Amino acid sequence: MFPTASAVSAAVGPVSAVGSVSTVGSVSTVGTVGAVSAAGSTSAVGPVSTVNPVSAVSASSSVSAISVRRVTKVFEQWQRGNSGKDVLRNLLKPEKRAVTALSDVSFEIGKGEFVAYAGPNGAGKSTTMKLLSGMLRPTSGDISVLSMSPQKQRRAIMSRIGVLFGNRTELWWDHPVIQSFEWKKVVWGIPDRLYRENLVMASELLDIGGLLKTFARELSLGQRMRADLAMLLLHSPELILLDEPTLGLDVMAKRRMIGFLKRLNESAGTTIVVTSHDMDDLEEMARRILLISNGRIAYDGGFAELRRELGCTKRATVSFIDGARREIGYEDTNRLLRELSEMGGIADVAFAQASLEEGLAGLFARWKAEGGQPLPGSEQPPSSEQPPSSGQPPSSE
């Protein structure tokens, strides 16, 4: 169960109250999830089993929430030119191109961790998220999510995790938001009490109380993102996978979402993996970052270590009475203050932190030119054990 609204409100600022909503009678079993809206919105959940309240997990737990071992994913893309000759050639001998989205990727994420997963466009971030949620099968390698296989136990996994893609929605396009919530409650078999508590909490903290009776098609992008996140939380997931969750959000909505996710991780021990191109958001939310480039893990560590690798240290600009200026890079604030106390004629001191995004922009450009070389000390250790193959041919998805 998630923390109460009062417990979280201190972290995310003032919230509005939620009006009363109708509920659907409780159900004990779950049918097959097969409905999609006429507008094309699809559900990433599939058929699921009855949901039970989730107990809080200690952030210090040594049990892995996610284990990825030497995973490779290869797609096949059809190739065709625009001339009549090319069309005829492809009818007789279709041309395909193999694209390696992930290449021998390995990492583990412990229960209770908040991990950022970043990289340039096309690096393999969304592919990884789809593999973890069972939407895709790996070409080779082994994946474990909450000690289960996403490929073999997808229904059981989806009852315990939540997945949100920034460019997709689970909301029923031609129905009010609350009707999508009620649909999930019935199909997923969410207990009445858990549903009501999570609905009130998520509606208040994500400020969607006034949107519950609004049709999904009439929501702005930011409003839809908040409604989708609220829907994701209704069954109290133990693990949350977020692909670009702050996409399209304004400053206030982004601050509210970041504060909510941080509090959710700290108070309920929910494991969260988030992708984003906004490094400032990732650095504020997560304590660990995985950088992926050209389908390979290029860095796995903390943000402070990443800054040191990139040379993005803190800087102090010292202005003196005689008009001179001096810029000092530092890591230890106490040591800097001691050095400043020994200087004379100081008129002003301005503190700043070098932009992590600027350092990464240069790094991504270099990786693209070099084929995705890892940062020093971040190479994945070689494994002497060859994981079993999934037995699946390369997908053309």
Q: What is the CATH number of the domain that holds 232?
A: 3.40.50.300
In a domain, 376, yes or no: no
Assigned domain for 382 exists: no
In a domain, 202, yes or no: yes
- In angstroms, the CA 232 to CA 175 distance is 17
The token pair at 339 is: 């050095």
Residue 379 identity (one-letter amino acid): E
Residues 208 and 337 in one domain: no
Task: Specify whether 232 is located in the same domain as 329.
Answer: no
Residues 151 and 278 occupy one common structural domain: yes
- Whether 120 maps to a domain, the answer reads yes
Residues 214 and 93 reside in one and the same domain: yes
Q: Are residues 317 and 259 in the same domain?
A: no
Asked if 344 and 281 sit in the same domain, the reply is no
Q: Which residue has the tokens 């860095």?
A: 299
SS3 282: helix
Tell me, yes or no, whether 391 lies in a domain.
Answer: no
Residue 305: exposure state from Cβ atoms within 10 A (0-12, 13-18, ≥19): middle
Side-chain-side CA neighbours of 83 within 13 Å: the count stands at 3
Q: Are residues 221 and 325 in the same domain?
A: no
Q: Assess whether 284 and 319 both reside in one domain.
A: no
Please indicate, yes or no, whether residues 305 and 320 belong to a single structural domain of this protein: no
In whole angstroms, what is the distance from residue 292 CA to residue 4 CA? 36
pLDDT tens for the chain, 397 residues: list them.
555 444 444 444 443 333 333 333 333 333 333 333 333 333 343 433 333 333 333 333 457 899 999 999 999 887 777 777 777 777 777 788 898 999 999 999 999 999 999 988 888 898 999 999 999 999 999 999 999 999 899 989 999 999 988 778 889 999 999 999 999 999 999 999 999 999 998 888 888 889 999 999 999 888 888 899 899 999 999 999 998 887 777 788 788 888 888 988 998 889 999 998 888 889 889 999 999 988 899 899 998 888 877 776 678 888 989 888 888 877 778 888 888 888 888 889 888 777 777 777 777 777 767 665 555 444 444 333 433 333 333 333 3
Count of domains observed in the chain: 2
User: What range defines the domain where residue 318 resides?
Assistant: 313-353
User: Is residue 397 assigned to a domain?
Assistant: no
Does 292 map to a domain?
yes
- 278: Cβ–Cβ under 8 A, 6 or more apart, which residues? 246, 357
In this structure, is residue 9 part of a structural domain?
yes
Could you give phi then psi for residue 312, rounded to 5 degrees? Answer: -90, 70
